[in-house]
Structure 1
Amino acid sequence: MIHRARPSVLCSVLAAGLVTVLVAGCSSGSDAGGGFGSTGGGAGALSCPVPVGPMAFAVSGRANSPEPGLPQSVQDATISVLSRAVDEDYQPRITLIDLDGRPTSAGSETYSSDAGNAIAAEDDRNQFLGGFGEALTGMRAQAPEADVLSALDLAGRSAGGNRPGTVVLVDSGLSTVAPLDFRQRGLLDAPPAETVEALRASNALPGLQGVTVVLAGLGDVAEPQTALSPAQRSSLVALWTAVAEAGGASCVAVVDEPRGGEAPSDVPPVSVVDVPPPPRITPGQTTALPDDNSVGFQPDTAEFRDRNAARGVLTPFAQFLTESPGRRLALTGTSARAGTPAGQVDLSTRRAEAVKALLVELGAPADRISTRGVGSQFPGYVNDVGPDGRQLPGPASANRTVIVEPTG
């Protein structure tokens, strides 16, 4: 059986007659609508085919993340699996995973119908979905913090079997438990490939071999967690997509339907992840341009990850120079401690020069911008090499900056 967690609101089963999902659920507030645990947003087909097989839902009813519920596209996919299962004479196992600091299975139930006609089969399905929706929206964390990585692994094992299964993750994705603890400075901005390699080296990738993975709600948070910028959310989505693929997922679908509302009350605490504000130009104040999707670089190159995003960030910096002939910018490139010292200086210099070139392109006078590269030899360097000699993704990312010192 799927065990009911301590729900703040219990969802009731409505009569048949709604257009799509015939079981109504409750969301976190006044936005409750059609669908079991609906989070709002328009429906849309998932980018991955969802097979008729076992399904596992890793759902967060925790602090700092909106109350649990399923986007419409996930609801539609779930109903499709149950309907096709009857046609194929298959009984899928549906499992709920309680995503908190120590993820556990909240229980599972096998769906079956012995109905003799389509109407009776639909009634059986709706009754099952009623209990499922009630259990899902009532999920509540039991342990402090949030271990998204372990929840994915547990869901992957729960969705395994003779048939390909599906894992659905519904969470902000801001994990606070090692080895993916986003409280670690720089980890949110680290290139996904580096983080995945570190997880692989420590045998910490989730077991998702052959399953379809659906990621919903990534980057959607609730107070007191600070909201993420579009670039930060993009980094988070890219990371979890890469983790799922490295874990063996056959296909990864990202649901863009936003999740909103308040976090559940009376649940264990989850640490707030420090979300750095966007870089701003302030006279007399040093600013470090982060190695993120807004103004960061492709790994081991001086090519911007997103040149258009970088233009948006650097436009005010260029305007700063053009507003007064006495103003200057000093750009200092820094790097992680990887490769030779000479290579570190070379890469950091080229990145400072790339920032200067873009500023000039935006109208800034080149003769009032100085550049230099110092590699990993700078006062703010954070140790980015672990005891085993491997590079630490978070600190390494924090060390990859172009420091802007405005004067005048």
Structure 2
Amino acid sequence: MTSRAALVAASLATLLALGACSSGDESAGGFSGGGGAPLSCPVPVGPMAIAIGGRSNEPEPSLPGPVQQAAITVVSGASEQNVQPKFTVVNVDGRPSVAGSDTYRTDAGNAIAAQDDQNAFLSGLGSAIPTLRAQTPEADTLGALTLAGRSVQGSRPGTVVLVDSGLSTVAPLDFRQPGLLAAPVADTVAFLRDNRALPTLTGATVVLAGIGDVAAPQPALDTAQRASLVALWKGIAEASGAACVAVVDEPRSGEAPSDAPPVTPVDLPPPPKITPGQASVLPDDGSVGFQPDTADFRDVAAARGVLTPFADFLKQSPARKIALTGTSARAGTDQSQVELSTRRAEAVKGLLVDLGAKPDQITTTGVGSRFPGYVNDQGPGGRQLPGPASTNRKVIVDPTG
């Protein structure tokens, strides 16, 4: 452990331990006493683990109001139920670690003294969080969630809090891999399950905060990209056995810590641009992508928005024609790939016709995974890689007249 890491761990242990020996009604140290919209999940009176980091590419560490309120619920309930919940803080960086932990205890003989102990403990927690700093380059958010999940397993249900942008840059969940951010949640979850990389969150309440909130030099996510990222982390938590998953919408903002090791920025794909009269590609994303193994658009309204300019272009002249070519990932038989990619090209045609284009202006074909530019989407043992697989799923638009 580096000297700074040792210092942070020591400060966490000291600050968290204040609840056992201090009194007063202070709420300093970055703990304002909660606030914000209430969580959509019940918070059990049991162990709580908070995975958070002072790392590059996202705002400095702090606890959103609903997360503070969850901690208050645990501590106040502990006094009422005479239990001693353990609080653990996990540092999110390229090699996540437990930065500190302590058990909340009180021997107060009356309600006022018990409240003093609660305030002191929570003040210590609030003071400790801003001191966190990453020790290792990159960000293993999945690994941090795994450590947090292990920290709350026991006889009483616990709460796992993840306060992070969610843009992990360490395998097996490395968003630097092209196509991963747009991949269907089910595909990515299946990939993690097949690789035994899902965390253990059995019976826990999971709180996700700050997902998609970034700081320079990481480019900002648009609304659809953030929604995809939130859906993925929620899907991971549910597949890992969480009893309930709450998403905190309170935004995190501000600059990243200046004294943290680097994290490689994740390149974000630009929104698809349909240029009438020019070859274009409709990628497998939230705007014009399809539900897994179907020809159903993920978001029909978004797809209409993308395709409307091209439909308008076709409507301007009956002589204008296009060819739609569907492609797919390499899954199943060649025949099934061709059939699925054909149906997806037909779905695009159907939407263009619905927008006013003439059916005889559009031809369709499907080629499955046999096309120029195919990216290998098969990992060890033939397991599908969600990022490359998403890249291979598209509909190519070519003007033919």
Same fold (TM > 0.5): yes
Deviation at 1:96, TM superposition (A): 0.5
SS in 2 for 1:187: coil
The residue that corresponds to 1:9 in the other structure is none
Q: Which amino acid aligns with 1:35?
A: S
Partner of 1:166: 159
TM-score scaled by structure 1? 0.89
- Measured after TM superposition, the shift of residue 212 of structure 1 is 1.1
How far the C-alpha of 1:324 sits from its partner, in A, is 5.3
Amino acid in structure 1 at the alignment position of 2:200: G
Q: In 2, are the aligned partners of 1:283 and 1:407 still within 8 Å (CA)?
A: no
Aligned residues of 2:183 and 2:284 also touching (Cα < 8 A): yes
Between stretches 379-388 and 281-290, larger displacement belongs to 281-290
Verify the 8 A CA contact 2:182 2:286 in the aligned structure 1: yes
The 5-angstrom pairing of residues 155-234 of structure 1 reads: 155-234=148-227
Per-residue Cα deviation, 1:232-279 (whole angstroms, up to 9, x for no partner):
222211211111122121111111121111111121110111110111
**Aligned residue runs from structure 1 range 209-288, under 5 A:** 209-283=202-276, 285-288=278-281
1:379 aligns with 2:372: yes
* 1:304 to 2:297 alignment: yes
- CA offsets, 1:274-301, max 9 Å, x none? 1101111224543322212221111111
C-alpha offsets along residues 64-84 of structure 1, whole Å, 9 cap, x if unaligned? 111111221111111011001
Structure 2 SS opposite 1:97: strand
1-side partners of 2:170 and 2:123: how far apart?
A: 33
Q: Deviations over 1:191-239 (max 9, x none)?
A: 2222112211111111112211111111111111112222222221121
Count, aligned residues: 384
Instruction: Confirm whether residue 89 of structure 1 aligns to residue 82 of structure 2.
Output: yes
Which residue identity does 2:284 align to in structure 1? D
Deviation, structure 1 residue 325: 5.4
Matching residue within 30, 36, 41 for 1:43: 36
Residue type of the alignment partner of 1:213? V
Structure 2 unaligned regions, length at least 5: 1-7, 13-21
* 1:102 matches 2:91: no
Q: Which shifted more, 397-406 or 316-325?
A: 316-325
Letter of the 1:294 partner, please give it: S
Shift of 1:119: 2.5
Q: Which amino acid aligns with 1:143?
A: T
Match of 1:313 among 306, 311, 328: 306
Is 1:389 matched with 2:400?
no
Q: Secondary structure at the match of 1:342?
A: helix
Residues 118 and 319 of structure 1: CA distance in aligned 2, closer, same or farther (over 3 Å): farther
Amino acid at match of 1:206: P
11, 18, 23: which is aligned to 2:27? 23
Distance in 2 between residues matched to 1:228 and 1:287, nearest whole Å: 23
Q: Is the 8 A contact 2:274 2:306 kept in 1?
A: no
Counterpart check, 1:363 vs 2:344: no
* Other-structure match for 2:146: 153
Which secondary structure state, in structure 1, belongs to the residue aligned with residue 380 of structure 2? coil
Residue type at the aligned position of 2:27? V
**Cα root mean square deviation, aligned:** 2.1
Q: Deviations over 1:144-201 (max 9, x none)?
A: 0000111011001111222111100000101100000011111111122221122111
More divergent stretch after superposition (282-291 vs 309-318) = 282-291
% identical aligned pairs: 68
Asked whether 1:54 is paired with 2:47, we answer yes
Please point out which of 329, 348, 351 is paired with 2:322: 329
- Say if 1:206 and 1:247, in contact at 8 Å, map to a contact too: yes
| TM-score of the superposed pair, with normalisation by structure 2 | 0.90
Counterpart code for 1:252: V
SS of alignment partner, residue 56 of structure 1: strand
Residue pair 1:4, 1:134 contacting (<8 A) in 2 also? no
